[in-house]
Amino acid sequence: MMLSETIDIFLRIAVFSVIASLMSGWVSNRVRVRYLFVLLALMQAVGSLGLLAFGTAVGQWMVAVGYGISGGLLVFLLGVIWPRFYGRKHLGAISSLNMSVIVFASAVGPWTFALSERQTGGYSAAAIACIVYALVCLVASMAISNPQRASDPERAG
């Protein structure tokens, strides 16, 4: 893949990410947050499936749409979910732990792809692991609910 093609993929991801981030604010006032998590996990699975067919135009678009939308949703949800679900009293501690998990995952992801390439000669095994993980998150996100709803039915979430 040429440098210009690589830049094109990242540009498409950025466009979908910005659109998803902007739209998620509007959508979050109309649907429960759990549905945005479901969409995020689904788009992660789409992006990871695209990695398996990355040599094709369809695969590259799946990567751009899937990872772009999921990235835009993640940026929005990380700013909204903690105060909405748990209030602002312990927001600093919660955000710190969340950031630690993000940093750890940012290290594990590339390591997983490097290990896949070293062991199998390609990235398919890591992409499949990402698909499985996204599907597990998809199922888990269907079960989440706002803990504030139990005590205050007026709260959105």
Cβ atoms within 10 Å, residue 32? 15
Q: How far apart are CA 157 and CA 155, in angstroms?
A: 6
Sorted by sequence, the CB contacts under 8 Å of residue 141 that are 6+ apart come out as 34, 37, 38, 40, 41
From residue 6, alpha-carbon distances to 13, 16, 63, 122, 125 in Å are: 11, 16, 12, 18, 22
Alpha-carbon dihedral sign for residues 30, 32, 28, 88: positive
Q: How far apart are CA 11 and CA 141, in angstroms?
A: 29
**pLDDT at 151 (0 to 100):** 60
Q: How far apart are CA 49 and CA 71, in angstroms?
A: 16
**Average model confidence (pLDDT) across the chain:** 89
pTM of the model: 0.86
pLDDT digits (tens, 9 = 90+) for 68-94: 999 999 988 888 888 877 778 888 888
**pLDDT at 143 (0 to 100):** 85
Higher pLDDT, 78 or 45: 45
HEC secondary structure over 25-58 = HHHHCCCCHHHHHHHHHHHHHHHHHHHHCCCCHH
